[in-house]
Amino acid sequence: MENIAAEIFRKLKVDVEPGMLAREYNSGQSTQIPMLPVVSTARRRITRRIQVENRVVIYERARHARGGGPDRDEKENVND
């Protein structure tokens, strides 16, 4: 399904990548196999719906960093 979406977006001249979970699985950072067809559209907003039978492509947009607090990995342990 992701391949079909990638081909459609290639014809529309829109750059897309695999979603975050698929990238983590492909790089070996995760052993969980992503079941949903997710593509990353960077910061671009896509309104087109791509569906084959009962499967629909989900769009994942890159989140821009906002100030105001530490990242999840940088949080201090409160119990120390």
Q: Model-level pTM?
A: 0.62
| Domain membership flag for residue 75 | no
- Write out the residue range of the structural domain in which residue 41 sits: 2-63
Position 7 in a domain: yes
Average pLDDT value for residue range 1-5: 80
Q: Residue 30 has what pLDDT?
A: 93
22: Cα separation from own chain's centroid: 8
- Give the count of domains, the chain: 1
72 or 46, higher pLDDT: 46
Is residue 70 in a domain?
no
In a domain, 77, yes or no: no
What pLDDT, on a 0 to 100 scale, did the predictor assign at position 68? 45
Angstrom distance (rounded) from CA 19 to CA 2? 9
What was the pLDDT predicted at 74? 45
The answer to whether position 78 is within a domain reads: no
Residue 24 lies in a domain: yes
Q: Has residue 12 been placed in a domain?
A: yes
How do residues 31-68 score in pLDDT, each as one tens digit?
Answer: 999 888 888 888 888 888 889 888 999 988 876 555 44
Kindly report each contact of residues 20-24 with a partner whose C-beta sits within 8 Å and lies 24 or more positions away, as own/partner: 20/60
pLDDT value at residue 64: 53
